Amino acid sequence: MLFRVVAETLSKIEAITSRTAITELLANLFRKTDPEVIDKVVYLIQGKLWPDWRGLPELGVGEKLLIKAIAKATGVRETEVESLYKKLGDLGKVAEALKSRRAGGGGLARFLSGATNALTVNRVYETLKRVALAVGEGSRDLKISLISGLLVDAEPIEARYIVRFVEGRGRIGVGDATIMDALAIAYGGGTAARPVIERAYNIRADLGEVARILVKEGLRALEKLTPEVGVPIRPMLAERLNDPREILAKVGGKGMVEYKYDGERAQIHKKGDEVIIYSRRLENITHQYPDVVEAVRNRIKSKEAIIEGEIVAVDPETREMKPFQELMHRKRKHDIHEAIKEYPVTVFLFDALYNEGEDLTTKPLPERRKTLEMIVEPDETIQLSQYIVTDDPEELEKFFLEAIENGAEGVMVKAIHKDSIYRAGARGWLWIKYKRDYKSEMIDTVDLVVIGAFAGRGRRAGTYGALLMAAYDPDADLFRSVCKVGSGFTDKDLAELPEILKPYIRQSKPRNVDSLMKPDVWVEPALVAEIIGAELTLSPMHTCCRDEVRKGAGISIRFPRFIRWRDDKGPTDATTTKELLEMYKSQLKKISE
């Protein structure tokens, strides 16, 4: 399959904003795609070479190295590449322009530039893979050689996307939801197949692999898919409420009320003596917790299992729970064994998703909990989450206060009826958060995504002074603006902002961003931060839930304040627009009472 077909589709997508039209373009591309490379095409559209959870190197290559590769491939001086880059602001367009200059681009240009072969998807993918994996002595020259080799044979439009991909700017603002819609249309017989594809992706967090199975084996093969040890399951998410009576009504009148621990969510995979720990974002964090790995080997009786829990920092002497921030010390690459002594942890397990060949995600919560209790032998490092089962709002409130007193964030209330399955990757009323922050005026902290930044002034000159934040709208696959936050940052936070934001800065508004407010620079939705404020309010400047409460107004946050970065969350794990609407309505109800 020629790479040109992919590049031309990406170019068309760049030129439009209609999600329906984008979905149809992708569906047409998938229909044309050779089944042998469908997974690679999906990865390229996602802007990656493989699922993030594999822990393999990212492809991002520095500007200087790319400029050298472009100059080498097009036969111009590096200074000319740099000059054109200053003018266009996009190295992809620089490569495209330089390729087009050579005898007007196209076949004659390819002949005169020494091009020998039309680029295939397989060649582009495998070459980029070699670039990503090149390390050690001589790797710099090898990367330049590999990239320039592709660019020599590339047509102008292909050069644009190869360079952007290598630079780490390959994402085109098309979310996984849109890709799944397109796969359903192209190979599932229509949008009715979307839930099957999404379910498969949720239990096998590899959209390229899901596409490969769909195209080569059909929809029935996806329906039969079950969890696999070593391949992470996308975590189930919770809604939030602050009224015990309403919470119990939502879960069916009676529920399991469980401590909500202030730690790092962990999905633990065990196969014999091999143990892998994935974070909420499905990153491999096994190296941070060798003590947990050892405990799992010794205290989980199953040979094969996937279990879920919260890793919590504890006091080395009293074993009392400590705040989430204490776990940051475990991220150090060196001296991890010293960190184990200084910052011990306990894993509080709360779910079992797979055990000895059995898919438990389709079982009700009481069955999953029973299995969990059967396979775990608790000790100091591995324990089961504390819970009660109740239909009494007052008992729920009492347990909530007890949880807070013991160092938890609050409680999770979970449905226990026959339909209380594990809804991987989904947010719903089967799980509901009830946190102490709900007692604040704003009800709760929220996790928002950075979509823009404003230049600092005065003491903040030279860095960014404020960030434009957004909530995620999963129905539209868009990030809608909520507020501009400039307080809560330490001097260190501010000093680090340019470096943190640099990989995600964009010249124009990303297509998956919905904002009326225009920042000094746009930022690709990737970074999540925890935000608190005085209250939720209506604003004509923001697009979150626009027109849903009052015509011409969206939901915003009054006096927002930055608390911390949420590295454990991806952009689509952020607070949703629907959640903010529920919080706003709850706030109004509280005021009226």
Which domains occur in the chain, in start order?
48-167 (1.10.3260.10), 237-435 (3.30.470.30), 446-592 (2.40.50.140)
Q: Label residue 108 by pLDDT band (50, 70, 90).
A: very low
The answer, yes or no, to whether residue 328 has pLDDT greater than 60, is yes
R_g (Cα) of the chain, nearest Å = 25
484-501: average pLDDT: 92
- Confidence class for position 102, pLDDT limits 50, 70, 90: low
DSSP SS3 for 530: strand
CA distances (Å), origin 189, targets 18, 73, 194, 353:
22, 43, 10, 30
As a residue count, the chain comes to 593
- How many CB atoms are closer than 10 A to CB 314? 19
Pair 447, 573: CB distance under 8 Å: yes
Hey, what are 239's tokens? 């809604």
SS3 247: helix
pLDDT, average across residues 49-55: 89
DSSP 8-class letter at 233 = P
Give the Å distances, CA to CA, from 577 to 239, 240, 545: 12, 13, 6
What's the DSSP call for residue 588?
H
Beta bridge partners of 432: 239, 413
The more confidently predicted of residues 190 and 170 is: 190
Cβ contacts of 405 within 8 Å, gap of 6 or more: none
Q: Is 332 helix (H, G, I), strand (E, B) or coil?
A: coil
Q: What's the pLDDT band for 440 if we cut at 50, 70, 90?
A: very low
pLDDT tens profile 298-308: 999 999 999 99
Amino acid 331: pLDDT: 80
Residue bearing tokens 């199975």: 213
Q: Quick one: what percent of the chain has pLDDT higher than 70?
A: 94
pLDDT tens profile 441-464: 576 789 999 999 999 877 777 889
Average per-residue pLDDT for the chain = 90
Both tokens of residue 382?
């591995």
What are the catalytic residues? 260
- Whole-number pLDDT of residue 333: 60
| pTM exceeds 0.85 for this model | no
Outline where DSSP puts E strands in 406-463: 410-415, 427-435, 446-455
